[in-house]
Chain A
Amino acid sequence: VVWDTLGNKQFCSYKIKTKTQSFCRNEYNLTGLCNRSSCPLANSQYATVREEKGRCYLYMKAIERAPFPRRLWERVLLSKNYEKALEEIDENLIYWPRFIRHKCKQRFTKITQYLIRIRKLTLKRQRKIVPLSRKIERREKRREEKALIAAQLDNAIEKELLERLKQDTYGDIYNFPIHAFDKALQQQDAESESESDMEKEEEEEEEDKDTREFVEADDSDLSDFEDMDKLETSSEEEQEDKEETEKQASHSRSKGKTPLKAPTRRKRRYIEIEYEEETEQNTKTKAS
């Protein structure tokens, strides 16, 4: 009677129809399909296996309890042991139709399989999904752009490199026109003399240099790491292979040169002919 009205002909709220099949949304349904044999509403004797918090229960519906909806479904806890649970299903559903018994055991098997998988996955590394707030993302992006503009990276890097050049971190690698070089030298004379005095001492010199360079960093208002670099390179100065490495460096540089603007390229490529260049420049500066 129930099936004739609800199941096939009129409306059942648990029924979902797709193009090829119809499903039953009822939570006590054994297979999930909408069939005459698997509708919990249409069958007065029915059983399902459901799991709650990792434990499996066998739910049974008997015709004697049909007028008492609250007591309709009887619940039996199944053992954690797989084989024992199968036996329990069997003994509870003894004398029940084969179809229901079989489907119950199938469902129970599937449930235990997915419970095992859940337990295994929780032990592995899990990906935590963090929600992004669009407003905050946009704000961060905007702030980053503005910070980029405020940073003026190219200028900052160029300034830093020139500072390091002035403070002699590169030693004698770069030779610049003597005219201007002398001026720079005069400025640095006081500093370099005191530095060379210190160089003659040993370990203490590094600590003294530390204190010295910290003070300079105060003036130049940058971080201390330029000082770290200066430390290493000024110790490099103590070695006296500079002239040889200079020539080698110039050779290697001319080969591994990256193309920059034309005038500079000409200036650097022929660096082996250094002396000629310098005299040229001298004449240029004198003319101006």
Chain B
Amino acid sequence: APPKAIPKTIENQRVYDETTVDPNDEEVAFDEATDEFAPYFNRQTVPKILITTSDRPRGRTVRFCEQLSTVIPNSHVYYRRGLALKRIIPQCIARDFTDLIVINEDRKIPNGLVLSHLPDGPTAHFRMSSVRLRKEIKRKGKQPTEHVPEVILNNFTTRLGHSVGRMFASLFPHDPQFIGRQVATFHNQRDYIFFRFHRYIFKSEKKVGIQELGPRFTLKLRSLQKGTFDSKFGEYEWIHKRREMDTSRRKFHL
């Protein structure tokens, strides 16, 4: 009988992306040392995050914002009340915020996320789907504590994925408190970023148990802008163009 062949998966057959980051690449390392996240990775800044919504948030979005703020340490939720983003941003910078998250809402459910690194950093616009609030997740855990969670970032391979991953990493403070045993995961699979928040416990050295607490959602990157949020004059580093980029089933960008 012929030997068992390796099954072909989409990940196996993925079209090779030329911007895949090689860990030994010096150019990438140099870029990362000098880009907007350098002060964070050099521990010069402590992340401070402002979470807000679009106008008139409905109950579900409000609750999601609250839960998100318990997940991300040092974050504050403020209501929008019809203020223009262009005017909020200078105020945030003045008050020392490092990141701004805007959750866009449509028909009473959150469906979009704008993540903007504040002192003139990149802005990423995501489409958010399958949002599950804490009470909808089947688990029996308590609420997340105030400990700083660990961060897991999986599968961010290309240059674009790298910068998005660094954006996510810069939301959380650098030193995770292992006492809390909490971990926030951003897992990229086929251009969908799954966010989960777990509490883990090591049952033995080869087995670990995880229990999901905290909200979960999936993101799909729509566009990445160089500066802070500006829809008219911004310089877009990457936009998802449906006609061109969705043609192949095996080509992914993150």
Contact = CB atoms under 8 A, between A and B. Distances in A.
B154 A261 contact: no
Contact of B202 (A165, A171, A180, A252): A165
B91 interface: no
Contacts of B196: 153, 157
Interface stretch (B66-74, B92-100, B138-146): B138-146
A182 to B, nearest CB: 11
B200 A125 contact: no
A181 B205 contact: yes
A287 interface: no
Interface in A207-259: 210, 214-215, 217-218, 222-226, 228-229, 232-233, 236, 245, 249, 252-253, 256, 258-259
Contacts of A146: 190
A147 B210 contact: no
A140 B23 contact: no
A157 B149 CA distance: 14
Interface string B143-187: 001000011111111000010010001000011101101010101
A59 interface: no
Contacts of B187: 151, 153, 156-157
A177 B206 CA distance: 11
A218 B189 contact: no
A143 B242 CA distance: 14
A160 B153 CA distance: 10
A276 to B, nearest CB: 17
A158 interface: yes
A57 B220 CA distance: 51
- Interface size class on chain A is 35 or more
Interface string A147-171: 1101101101110111011000011
Contact of A224 (B23, B208, B213): B23
Nearest to B154: A156
Interface of A, helix, strand, loop or mixed by DSSP: helix
Interface residues of B, number: 58
B9 interface: yes
A144 interface: yes
A151 B194 contact: yes
B109 to A, nearest CB: 14
Task: Identify which of A158, A180, A223, A261 gathers the most chain B CB atoms within 10 Å of its CB.
Answer: A223
Given A147-B190, A158-B210, A260-B209, A228 B169 contact: yes
Contacts of B130: 144
A23 B13 CA distance: 66
A229 B156 contact: no
B201 interface: yes
Given A144-B218, A150-B190, A222 B154 contact: yes
B155 A223 contact: yes
A210 B32 CA distance: 13
A165 B201 CA distance: 11
A214 B21 CA distance: 12
B183 A256 contact: no
Contact of A153 (B162, B174, B194): B194
Contacts of B151: 225, 229
Contacts of B189: 147-148, 150-151
A264 B41 contact: no
Interface core residue of A136, A160, A162 (most chain B CB under 10 Å)? A160
Given A141-B129, A165-B205, A260-B211, A148 B194 contact: yes
A153 B176 contact: no
B205 to A, nearest CB: 4
A82 interface: no
5 contacts: A143-B192, A144-B192, A153-B185, A222-B154, A223-B156
Interface of B: 9-11, 23-24, 29, 41, 84, 129-130, 140-142, 145, 150-157, 162, 165, 169, 174-176, 178-179, 181, 183, 185, 187, 189-192, 194, 196, 198-206, 208-211, 213, 218, 220, 242, 246
Shortest beta-carbon contacts, A-B, top 9? A151-B189, A147-B190, A176-B205, A225-B153, A214-B23, A147-B189, A147-B192, A258-B141, A264-B203
